[in-house]
Each structure stands twice: as C-alpha cells, then as structure tokens.
Amino acid sequence: MADPILEAAARLHRAAAEGRPCAPVRDLIGPASAYAVQRELTRARTAAGAHLVGHKIGLTSPAVQRQLGVDRPDFGVLFADMAYADGAKVPMARLLQPRVEAEVAFVLDRDLDEPGADVRSAVAYAVPALEIVDSRIAGWDITFTDTVADNASSGVFVLGEALAPLERFEPVECAMSMTIDGELVSTGTGAACLGDPLRALAWLAGTAIELGDPLRAGQVVLSGALGPMRPVGAGNEVAADITGLGTVRAVFA
C-alpha cells in the first residue's frame, strides 16, 4: 500500500515541477499529516541543494481562518531561491496562481530555542516585505490540510531595503497600503496580523520548538498579511508602504 504522505508530497512536487496545478491532497491525508508532507517536500528540496533561510506565517487573519474553518495560523519554510531584492523583476514563469500581500518581516539576531523566550529582544530589525503566495492546488481549492502540505501556499518574497530596529518601530501600530499599477488595492494595520506581528512571531517560535526545529539567528520570518491579498499578473507593478518601515516594490515579468 502506498504511503499517503509520500503520495501527497509527490503530487505537489509534480505540480511544481511541471507547472500545472494539481488536485487537492485532502483525499490522501488529514490535518494531522499535513506538516509531515511539508517536511517531506522540505527534505527533498534541501537534499537537492536548496538553502533554508527562514519561515513564513500564514492564516493570521481571522477572516481567512473563518473561510477555511480553522482557528490557528500555519507556517511554511523559505528558501534562498525564493528571495528577490526590492524593485526586482519577479518572473511569472516560476509561479502558477500568484497573489500578493504586504507584511512586516523580521530578521533574527539570536536563536529562539527556549519556550516562552522574549521574541522582541531576538529581532535584529524589521523590514517591509511583499509575499507572493502561490498554490500548487488548482483553483486555490484549499483547506487547512492542503495549504499546510503545500508549504503554506508559499511562492516567493521581496524584502525592502529599509531596516528598522524595534526600538524605533512598533509593529502593531503600523499602517499598510498596497497598490498595483498605482491603484490602491489593499490596506490594513499591524493589528490585523494575529493582533500583533510580534504575537505571530511568538506563535511560530513556540511551534518550531515543539516540532524540534527552533528558529535560528539570521533567519527571516514573514509574519503574516496586514491586509487582503490580491491576484497579480505579468506586467503588474506592486508597491507597498508600511508606516515606520517605508516601501517595497516588485515588477512581474
């Protein structure tokens, strides 16, 4: 009998490799096995030479949680080849069904390997970020199980150039506005991200310890959307402004 975890991982891997979205994987696994599928995909990518540089937090919005019938956030991993510089051209060829959202990103300057540690003191600085979420599942027909297995629907990400230590930037108080081709398409605040982006970081730090893979110094953490995500296509220019952090921009080619 085929291992359902390996079968689900193979389905998602095939979709990414062939550039064709696949059927959901919830016919193969349940929520309890979703992170096992994600770990299998992470193991395969790492074995092939990919370098893990951090994590992303998803499902931080109560509205999205209600939509998917869950009461908790999720997370995925970030690899070096997913990162783009501020203002860079992001190739549509590596994406399937991209949607963009603006976030606060944290870069850590010490490990978070003790339960209950003060996450604020572990942050070297915050930067504005665009996360381009993507799904290997056709039509974004996802449940919690599907998105977790699919690396929390990760695509690529863009980090801004402005760096703000938390001594002069309070994440929960920030306001965000995002435009596509100059048109305002999304607004939000730090409080939209699990009540506070630092609360989201604390959740991830605790969860990572429970799973035996603590957050490490130097890693990037995308803390979660500050406002609604929007579809993006070739030729679009996306810019986001986060008060206290500045702007971040990407062009889709």
What are the pLDDT digits (tens) for 157-172? 999 999 999 999 999 9
β-bridge partners, 175: 189
**What is the domain count for the chain?**
1
CATH of the domain at 39: 3.90.850.10
71-128 pLDDT, tens digit per residue, is 789 999 999 999 999 999 999 999 999 999 999 999 999 999 999 999 999 999 999 9
> In 3D, which of 213, 207, 248, 228 has the Cα closest to residue 105?
248
Is the pLDDT at 36 greater than 60? The verdict is yes
Report the distance separating Cα 77 and Cα 69, nearest Å: 23
Q: Which domain holds residue 25?
A: 4-252
Phi, psi angle pair for 216, to nearest 5°:
-120, 155
E strand residue ranges, the chain: 52-58, 74-79, 83-85, 89-90, 99-108, 123-133, 156-159, 175-180, 183-189, 220-225, 230-231, 237-242, 246-252
